[in-house]
Amino acid sequence: MTGAETSDAARTGRAAPPSRGRLSVAETGLLALAVLGVTATAPLAASAQAPALAIAFWRNAAGSAVLLGGLALRRGERRRGERRRGERRRGGRAARLSLLSGVFLAAHFATWIPSLTMTSVAASTALVCATPLWSGLLARVRGARLGRRVWAGMALALSGVLLIGGADFTTSPRALTGDALALTGALCMAAYLAVGESVRSAVDTATYAATTYAAAAVALLVTCLVSGSALFGYSGRTWLLLAALTVCGQLIGHTLFNRALTRLSGHSVATLTLLEVPGAALLAAVWLGQTPPPAVAAGIAVVLLGVYVTLSVPAARGRRGGAEGGLNRGAARR
């Protein structure tokens, strides 16, 4: 990145155009670990005997507590003179955006989870998987030119998800409301990733994730209190499942995806999250001995192909000349 690009980014308040470069083997491995983390969340959440919104609250609250504790220890060892000039000013804007990101994350949980009880699980899952398309539209609004191959790859991955889920849409008023909530949940997740893409060029992963999860936890706490969702009184087994959900879903899954936003665009990360669907099918085959039917196996192959097509496209150029998308997202602070 040139000095002129850095100065322009500081003046406009936008992230500087990223440098080009392929993901390393280690970075690819971390993304695979993130996919495994979020893949494990569905069976863990389904096994926990607690209200859905309360589960969402506790995973965010516990995740932020762990990260905030680590940040406190790190900052206690850090010398004051190590702070770069202008970091506080950038930190204020980044903090506000991180809080906004947390609100979008909370809104994702608060809209999608209730939709599971209003429409079919297959329809809800299929609609919430529209996140990559929302992310692509948001990127287009922000000036990125994604290209036909990126759109084709995202559409291909989504078709594989539909093939796996065999979505069952109904037309009752309650089901339509549930469908709308799931689609809103997808939009909120896309907004969460888009804001994170802007913030992650100036804030390290732990700080961003801790702030975002804390904001989501506060918003979800209010939602739980308003809806009357019980926050305590669970069995010891449920608390253990919530702890495992925090580790897998928040500390590994979401946090590593947030880390990836320094190298990948929001719509690319959104496409990667679709691997959770075939991942769950493969875990069921390995852990439960449930051999997937041919349609599911075909759907897994289609999702993988769609993700590959999306992420293998060279970085597109935005209106301001910044790179967007593909595997060529620039390195920022880790």
- Nearest C-alpha neighbor of 303 from the set 81, 155, 97, 101: 155
DSSP state of 39: H
Largest CA distance in the chain: 62
How confident is the model at residue 214, as a pLDDT?
97
- 154-157: which pairs have CB atoms within 8 A and are 24 or more residues apart? 154/267, 154/271, 154/306, 154/310, 155/306, 156/302, 156/305, 156/306, 156/309, 157/132, 157/271, 157/274, 157/302, 157/303, 157/305, 157/306, 157/307, 157/310
Helix (H) or strand (E) holding 42: helix 41-47
Structure tokens at 161: 């998800």
How confident is the model at residue 279, as a pLDDT?
77
- Predicted TM-score (pTM) of the model is 0.79
List, as one string, the DSSP characters of 113-126: HHHTTTS-HHHHHH
How confident is the model at residue 21, as a pLDDT?
54
**Three-state SS at 147:** coil
How confident is the model at residue 243, as a pLDDT?
97
How confident is the model at residue 31, as a pLDDT?
93
61, burial (CB in 10 Å: exposed 0-12, middle 13-18, buried 19+): buried
- Nearest C-alpha neighbor of 104 from the set 193, 168, 17: 193
C-beta of residue 137 within 8 angstroms of C-beta of residue 194: no
> Which of the residues in the chain have pLDDT under 70?
1-21, 76-91, 167, 284, 287-288, 290, 292, 314-334
DSSP state of 62: H
DSSP state of 172: S
- Nearest C-alpha neighbor of 59 from the set 109, 2, 5: 109
How confident is the model at residue 102, as a pLDDT?
96
